[in-house]
């Protein structure tokens, strides 16, 4: 899949999905589709369908956003310094298409101690995907 242009994205995405993925917006806490989802599968980029996170690394952080301890692999998510809103944070984007996903914080569980705090609007849960990110159609 090639990355869609702006007109295609505006047609395909909801206004909130567009705002979050293309304008680095943030959905309100406890409102997104996946903040409390416990279904198994692969979370993919809403824009380009790239596999990003496994449900096996999702946990309840209490933050109101879907949170993960690790991306699907080392090349799935890019990280960038974000100094907006008078804070210094680490922004997470899809490594394939650059869509804004959320932020990563150093307060998570596990040996890495990271919390990938993502917006539901930037993700699509593929309940039928295998954990390696492939589907039967591929």
Please check whether residue 19 is in contact with residue 27, taking contact to mean a CB–CB distance below 8 angstroms: no
> Is 48 an annotated catalytic residue?
no
Out of 31-40, 77-86, 110-119, pick the least confident. Answer: 77-86
What predicted TM-score, i.e. pTM, was given to this entire model?
A: 0.87
CB under 8 Å to 66, separation ≥6 — which residues? 32, 34, 35, 37, 43, 58, 117, 118, 119, 120, 123
What is the number of structural domains in the chain? 1
Mean pLDDT of the chain: 90
Residue range(s) defining the domain that contains residue 42: 6-126
Given 45, 48, 97, 117, which residue is catalytic? 117
Please indicate, yes or no, if residue 136 is contained in any of the structural domains: no
Please indicate, yes or no, if residue 134 is contained in any of the structural domains: no
**In the predicted model, is pLDDT for residue 138 greater than 60?**
no
Instruction: Please give the backbone phi and psi of residue 95, each rounded to the nearest 5 degrees, phi first.
Output: -70, -25
Q: What is the pLDDT of residue 129?
A: 47
Please indicate, yes or no, if residue 111 is contained in any of the structural domains: yes
Please indicate, yes or no, if residue 38 is contained in any of the structural domains: yes
CB under 8 Å to 102, separation ≥6 — which residues? 26, 65, 91, 92, 116, 117, 118, 119, 122
Q: What is the pLDDT of residue 83?
A: 81
CATH number of the domain encompassing residue 60: 2.170.150.20
Residues 91 and 75: their CA atoms lie apart, in Å, by 15
Please indicate, yes or no, if residue 135 is contained in any of the structural domains: no
Please indicate, yes or no, if residue 46 is contained in any of the structural domains: yes
């Amino acid at each position: 899949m090639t990355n869609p242009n702006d007109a295609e994205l505006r047609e395909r995405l909801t206004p909130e999905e567009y705002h979050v993925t293309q304008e680095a917006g943030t959905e309100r806490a406890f409102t997104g589709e996946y903040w409390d989802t416990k279904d198994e599968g692969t979370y993919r980029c809403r824009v380009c369908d790239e596999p990003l996170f496994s449900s096996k690394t999702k946990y309840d952080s209490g933050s109101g956003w879907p949170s993960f301890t690790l991306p699907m692999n080392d090349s799935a998510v890019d990280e960038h310094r974000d100094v907006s809103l008078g804070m210094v944070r680490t922004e997470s984007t899809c490594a394939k298409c650059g869509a804004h996903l959320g932020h990563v914080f150093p307060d998570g569980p596990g040996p890495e101690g990271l919390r990938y705090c993502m917006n539901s609007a930037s993700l699509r849960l593929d309940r039928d995907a295998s954990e390696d990110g492939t589907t039967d159609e591929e």
